Amino acid sequence: MQKLGDFKLPQFFNYPPYFTYSPTLLLLSNFGRPVRDTREKQVQLWKEFILDYCRTQKIFVIELEEEFPLFSNHLIERSLSNEAREAFLSALVSEGRAEWLDRGHRKCLILWHRIQDWADILLHFVRDNGFEDSVMTVEEIRTGVESRGTENHNISSKQPSAILNSYQF
Amino acid sequence: MRRRPGIGGLQTAAAARDQYRILGENVAKLRTDLMKEQLATFRSQLEEFARKHKNDIRKNPTFRTQFHEMCAKVGVDPLASNKGFWAELLGIGDFYYELGVQIVEICWATRPHNGGLINLQELCTLLRQKRKSDREAVSEDDCLRAISKLKILGSGFEVISVGKRKLVRSVPTELNKDHNEILELAQAQGFVTVDEVERRLSWTSGRATDALDTLLDEGLAMIDDGHRDGKRRYWFPCVSSISSSVVSDI
C-alpha cells in the first residue's frame, strides 16, 4: 500500500474520480438519492482522511492554496480543485472539527481534538504542572519546557485563543 | 387369441384377464421394490460418501463445487432445507446462510461507493477478508450459490453477466442494453469517455450522454474531470474497484 511518510494512505486516494467533487445532478431528481450517496461517501472519506492525517502528523492549519500532500496524488496525476478543498473542509467545520481562520475561507484550523477536548487537555496540563492560579503566556503553553511531550506541544498559535475563548463562558 | 364361442369362452377370457392383471401387478411391485431398494442404496451411499468426505466438502471449495454438481445431476439439493440430514451431517446449509448474510452486509457497506453493483471477484475478496478468522476457503461458486438462496427474499439480489465478468446487483435497478454495453466497454480501463462511447459503439452523442447520465444518477458511475486531456471520464467502481486495483498493487 502506498504511504506518505509513515502514514498509510486510504485506498480511495488512488481512485481518480474521488478527486473530482461529485456533482449533484439536477435532472431526474426522483432518482437523485444514489448520487447524494456517492457525494456523501466522498465527503465522508475525505473528512476522515484529513482528520486522520492531521492527527498523526500533528498538523494544525491547512492553507487552501498552498501545496498540501493530501490534496494531490502525483501517482495518478490528480489534485483537488479549490472548490472541492473548500467543500471538504467546510464539512469538517460544520461538524466542529475545524474552523475557518479568515473570512475568505483560505486558511483552516483543523481540530482533531474538539475545542472542548483541547480545553480539557490544557486544563490537565495546567493542573499537572501546578500552574493553577498563575499567569502563562500562550507561548509558554506551546513551546515551554513543560509542554514537551504533551499534546499541546507546538500547538498552532491560532489555537489557544480559540480554546481560551471557550473558557470565557 | 382365437375367440371361442359360448359361456365357457367368456369365462376363460375373464380368467385370462385376471391372470394377466395379477402378473402385471407382480411385475410392477417387483420393479417398485427394486427401485426403492436402489434408491435406498443410493441414498445410503451418498450419505456415506458425504460422511466420509465431510471435511473435504467443508474445507475444499473445488471439492464442494464438484459435490454440488454431482448432487444436482441426481436431483438432490443439499441446500433445500436446513432441517434435512444434509444440514445435520454437513452443516452445509448454515455455511451458505452465513455467506448470504455476509454478502448482504458487504453489498450494503459498499453501496455508496459502487451504487449497488459489485464485481463478483471483488465480493469474494471482501468476503474472504471478512471471514479471515475462519479457515474455510470461499470460492466464487459458493458466492453464487449463496446469492441464489438470497433471491427467495425477493430483495433483488441478482447476478448479471457483463462481458466476461459477473456482477452482483443489490439494488433494484434495471439496466438496459445501452447501460450494459457501456459497462462492458468500461471493463478495459475502468472508465469511459463520451467520445469513446460514441466511437466504439457508434452511438449519437445524445444517446451516449443520456445513458451515462442515468448511470451517474444511479450512483454506478463517478465523474473524473482531472485528467490532462481535459476530457471528462466516467469511472465505474463496479468494474474496476479501488480495492481490487490496490490489492493488486500490494
Q: What is the ipTM of this complex?
A: 0.72
Which of B220-233 are b and which e, b meaning 16 or more Cβ less than 10 Å from the residue's Cβ? bbbbbbbbeeeebb
- Enumerate the residues of chain A whose CB falls inside 8 A of the CB of residue B191: 16
Residue B160 confidence (pLDDT): 85
Residues A77, B226: C-beta atoms closer than 8 Å = yes
If one compares A105 and B27, the residue with the highest pLDDT of the two is: B27
The span from the CA of B194 to the CA of B104, in Å, is 33
Residue A32 confidence (pLDDT): 45
- Which of B:24-53 have CB within 8 Å of A? none
* Domains in chain B, CATH or no CATH each: 174-250 (1.10.10.10)
Alpha-carbon distance A31 to nearest alpha carbon in chain B (angstroms): 7
State the fold for domain A3-110.
Arc Repressor Mutant, subunit A (1.10.10)
Residue B192 confidence (pLDDT): 92
pLDDT band at A27 (very low <50, low <70, confident <90, very high): very low
Of B217, B220, B228, the CB nearest to A28: B217
pTM of the full structure: 0.67
Residues B112, A41: C-beta atoms closer than 8 Å = yes
Residue B91 confidence (pLDDT): 62
Residue A97: other Cβ atoms inside 10 A: 19
Residue A128 confidence (pLDDT): 84
Alpha-carbon distance A32 to nearest alpha carbon in chain B (angstroms): 6
Residues of chain B with pLDDT under 70: 1-4, 77-93, 133-136, 155, 241-250
Residue A72 confidence (pLDDT): 87
pLDDT band at A66 (very low <50, low <70, confident <90, very high): confident
Q: Can you give the residue ranges of every domain in chain A?
A: 3-110, 115-167
Spell out where chain A has E strands. 3-4, 7-8, 61-63, 72-73, 78-79, 98-100, 107-110
Alpha-carbon distance A115 to nearest alpha carbon in chain B (angstroms): 31
Residue of A1, A15, A18 to mutate, testing the B interface (most B Cβ within 10 Å of its Cβ): A15
Query: CB–CB of B96/B79 below 8 Å?
Result: yes
Please, which residues have CB within 8 angstroms of residue B41's CB and are 6 or more apart in sequence? none
Query: CB–CB of B243/B195 below 8 Å?
Result: no
Percent of chain A with pLDDT over 90: 4
Question: For the segment A68-97, what is each residue's pLDDT rounded down to a tens digit?
Answer: 888 888 888 888 888 888 889 999 999 888
